[in-house]
Amino acid sequence: MLTALILGSFIVIVCIAASQPLHRFGVPALIMFLVLGLLAGSVGPWGPIHFDDYEVAETICSLALVFIIFYGGFGTNWKTARPVVAESVLYSTLGVVITAGAVTLFAHLVFGLGWAESFLIGSVVSCIDAASIFSILRSEKLSLRFNTASVLEIEGGCNDLPAYMLTVVAIIILQGQNADTVFLTVIIQLLGGVLVGVAIAVGTVWVLKKVGQRLPEGMNLLLVIAVSILSYALASYFGGNGYLATYLCGIILGNAKIPKRAHIVTLFDSIDWLAQIMIFFLLGLMATPERLPAMILPGLALTAFLVLVARPLATFAIFPLFKPGGVRNDWRKCLFISWAGLRGAASIVFVFLALASDVVLQSDLFSMILIVALLSISVQGTLFAPVARKLDMVDDTLDYQLSFNDFQEQSAHSFFRIAVEEDSGWAHRAIRDIPLGSHILIVLIKRGDTTIAPRGDTVVLPGDVLVLAGEQYTGDAHTTITQMLVEASNPWVGHQIKDLHLPETRLIVSIVREDGTAVTPKGRVKIYPEDTLTLFDWE
């Protein structure tokens, strides 16, 4: 027991310590977790660790994936993401089906496997790893054009759900059950997941609004952790899709005005990282190095097919449905979304699920997916930022934090001012280069009598007064910041800002158009439907 605790702590410390040196070379930290697992399973200070219980591994990884999926839903701002919801949902449903179908055909023709086993392989690798994608976006501070980050955010959060259902169907077929069982399973999965997820989320919101403000901070966090697990477990108990339930629960809770939300986000960010460490470490730990050489060529072939054929096929099949040739869906966006299809945590969990089901397979599925995950994270992940810049998908005029919604807590954020002196470390630096925490945002710059809406490339000058949104209030006035998605029926639509007759205590500090373009809110700027406005109010 003590040895296991020492080893586990050592692994986490080494991973954290190695993350920054790896980042300098553009290598995702997840690679370190997988490599450490491989080393621990082969050599080590206590000798090789022998662990080959797929049922235990599937239980651990399923729980880890619950937290990853819940956090993905919790961090999604529905109002901001709504303009790209239809596009994202198609990528995460039809895109998953197209990817699974293409890989099924490939595995059958190239690997010579039966249709059922080929379908299992296609199902396992049909979803992208949102956690890997967004850890790279945050670490590289990338702001993507055309609302691409929001598309990937929703796709990554949703696509695990249909991929899981396809994997379950493939397992049922391999177990020799009939078509009626498959159809009934799909219906129960959908209904159970939706009903349980929504019911638990609505009940939790009611409880938090009633007593959440009076509960100790730690109690709120424990309640949300318990709810995320309960939504998965209860839906699964009744035959529903537990991952669908926990994702819906996360979205509803994350978009409700619950107390102390920022602290919950901070906790789940740490849990999310720990969950990824466990999944990738277990994948490496359970690998058999002697079996890997025989699967290198199949793994390479499958990875190349996913990157060069299956993912682009799914992406470009959906692309024409959304303003083809228009600014919103520039071909660069489509190419980048194709490249951003990293495979990782969810695929690993689905492999453990299949192997724990005792289905008979001709292929070494475990070793093949290990190689796919290793190649995908290392190659696609390392080239993620360079490809984004090569395709001119990076918009340095935007603050990269606006792509993520977990810094917002509209009912609890406070504001404070900082006067920038000549000798300040912030003077003469662009905002994107200023080291701010993930829950602090520069929302306004006062330069003399001029008010400036901050962008990523805005240079801070001596004498500027910065208004920051943070979690601690140190100002001398009551202030609030809100984000508003402009509906077509809004009376502001079509009017210039100077004609809105806003009160002196209200200021529009940023405008983001439907295509993701940031516009400086000057007096002659018009308001259009689907604009996202950031409003600054004070008393």
Residue 20 sits at φ, ψ, to 5 deg, of -70, -45
Which residues make beta-bridge pairs with 537? 480, 506
Q: Report pTM.
A: 0.71
Under the banding of pLDDT at 50, 70 and 90, the label for residue 334 is: confident
* Residues 12-27: tens digit of each pLDDT: 777 677 666 665 555 5
Under the banding of pLDDT at 50, 70 and 90, the label for residue 474 is: very low
19 vs 338, more confident: 338
For residue 277, the domain's CATH number is 1.20.1530.20
> In angstroms, rounded to a whole number, what is the distance separating the alpha carbons of residues 438 and 415?
15
Instruction: Give the domain range for residue 413.
Output: 406-538
Helix (H) or strand (E) holding 60: helix 54-74
Amino acid 180: pLDDT: 72
* Residues 255-271: tens digit of each pLDDT: 887 776 667 777 787 88
> In angstroms, rounded to a whole number, what is the distance separating the alpha carbons of residues 188 and 235?
10
Which of 390, 415, 439 lies at the terminal end of a domain, its last residue? 390
> In angstroms, rounded to a whole number, what is the distance separating the alpha carbons of residues 164 and 117?
15
23 domain-assigned? yes
Average pLDDT over the chain reads 79
Counting other chains too, the contacts that 492-500 makes at CB distance below 8 Å and 24 or more residues apart are: 492/527, 493/527, 493/528, 493/529, 494/526, 494/527, 494/528, 495/526, 495/527, 496/523, 496/524, 496/525, 496/526, 496/527, 497/521, 497/522, 497/523, 497/524, 497/525, 497/526, 497/527, 498/523, 498/524, 500/527
Amino acid 18: pLDDT: 67
Can you tell me the mean pLDDT for 447-456?
A: 80
The total of structural domains in the chain comes to 2
What is 464-524 written as a DSSP string?
Answer: -EEEEEESS--SSS-EEEEEEEPPTT-TTTT-BGGGS---TTEEEEEEE-TTS-EE---TT
Comparing C-alpha atoms, which of 407, 293, 286 is closest to residue 348? 286
In terms of DSSP bridges, do strands 506-512 and 532-538 run parallel, antiparallel, or are they unpaired? antiparallel
User: Are 383 and 528 within one domain?
Assistant: no
Amino acid 472: pLDDT: 42
Under the banding of pLDDT at 50, 70 and 90, the label for residue 4 is: low
- Nearest-Å Rg of the Cα atoms of the chain is 24
State the residue for tokens 């729980």. 63
State the residue for tokens 């509960």. 215
- Residue 306: pLDDT over 80: yes
User: Are 380 and 428 within one domain?
Assistant: no
Taking a C-beta distance cutoff of 8 angstroms, is the pair 74, 250 a contact? Answer: yes
User: Are 96 and 170 within one domain?
Assistant: yes
Amino acid 357: pLDDT: 86
User: Are 9 and 155 within one domain?
Assistant: yes
User: Are 124 and 180 within one domain?
Assistant: yes
Which residues make beta-bridge pairs with 508? 535
- Residue 81: pLDDT over 80: no
User: Are 266 and 383 within one domain?
Assistant: yes
12 domain-assigned? yes
Amino acid 397: pLDDT: 52
Which of 390, 415, 436 lies at the terminal end of a domain, its last residue? 390
Amino acid 431: pLDDT: 83
* Residues 25-41: tens digit of each pLDDT: 555 667 777 777 877 77
Can you tell me the mean pLDDT for 339-358?
A: 87
Q: Which range (132-136, 338-342, 396-400, 465-469) has the least confidence?
A: 396-400
